[in-house]
Amino acid sequence: MDFSLLTYNTLLNDAVSGLKTICSSQRPDFICLQEIDTTTSTFQKVERLGYKLADYSNAFIKYGHIYGVATFYNPHKFEFRASKVILLPKGLLEMVGYLLRIFKTGKKTRTVLKTEFLCKKMKNKVIIYNIHLSAHGTNHIRLKQIQTTLNDVGLIKTNKPTILTGDFNYPYGRKGLEGLMHKYDFKEATNKILFTTEGAMAHYTFFEKILGSIFFRIMRHRLKLDYIFYKNCQSMYAKKVNVQYSDHYPVYAMFKLI
């Protein structure tokens, strides 16, 4: 049996309005969203497209709104079984940022959302990790965050189909990321996708726009931030969906249960 997944960084909820168009054309079985406003009204917008919310976890506060990751599923094909929130270590720049903002907006810890589903037809269990790693800091902290997630994967004793997906914020030095994932027998479904963002800078501060314009000019069409890794299932294909509701492109992948 085939199943499909869409991962999408919604740019502080901006792209939620475009999900109807995306889902009507792609029809994913699972939707993993990052930077989504974790409110009931936002979740209801997605559920009106025919999906159910499995769970969500908060990641950070900006402009007085709490943003995080949320995973939705097709209730006709899958049954939601369980979820778990995994707390991630912070980088130095994030800790400094929290100290500067704490009295205005409060403090949140970046998390990974683990969800488990049962395929109604084949009775297979499918595990999905919805990931949004630190945007600030070096790849060293991101590797630590991925390792924390993989430590949880290591607790799974059976050969359940497992997907790690989301915004890894890993724009350079990909061999380090690939090497760590291969160590845990994960393959990349998105290995033929060269870039997943054009570097739009909506919501950036003035200082961030200056730094971003320099970085994006150098890395144009090479900025791959969004990934889908898998194990214990078969990857059929993956593609970047060419819509521009966010500074990221949605990434879609099809798998087969084996």
Where helices occur in the chain by DSSP H, the ranges are: 19-26, 40-47, 92-105, 139-153, 174-183, 206-219
- Out of 11-15, 61-65, 105-109, 155-159, the most confident range is 11-15
216: confidence class by pLDDT, cuts 50, 70, 90:
low
Kindly list the structural domains of the chain, giving each domain's residue range(s) and its CATH number in brackets, ordered by start.
Answer: 2-256 (3.60.10.10)
CB 29 within 8 A of CB 36: no
Percent helix, strand, coil in the chain (nearest 5)?
30, 35, 35
Residues 118-163 pLDDT 10s: 999 999 999 999 999 998 788 999 999 999 999 999 998 789 999 9
Of the candidate ranges 31-40, 42-51, 132-141, the one whose mean pLDDT is the lowest:
132-141
What is the model's pTM? Answer: 0.89
Residues 186-213 pLDDT 10s: 999 999 999 898 755 455 554 454 555 5
**Whole-angstrom distance, CA of residue 63 vs CA of residue 59:** 14
**Whole-angstrom distance, CA of residue 164 vs CA of residue 186:** 9
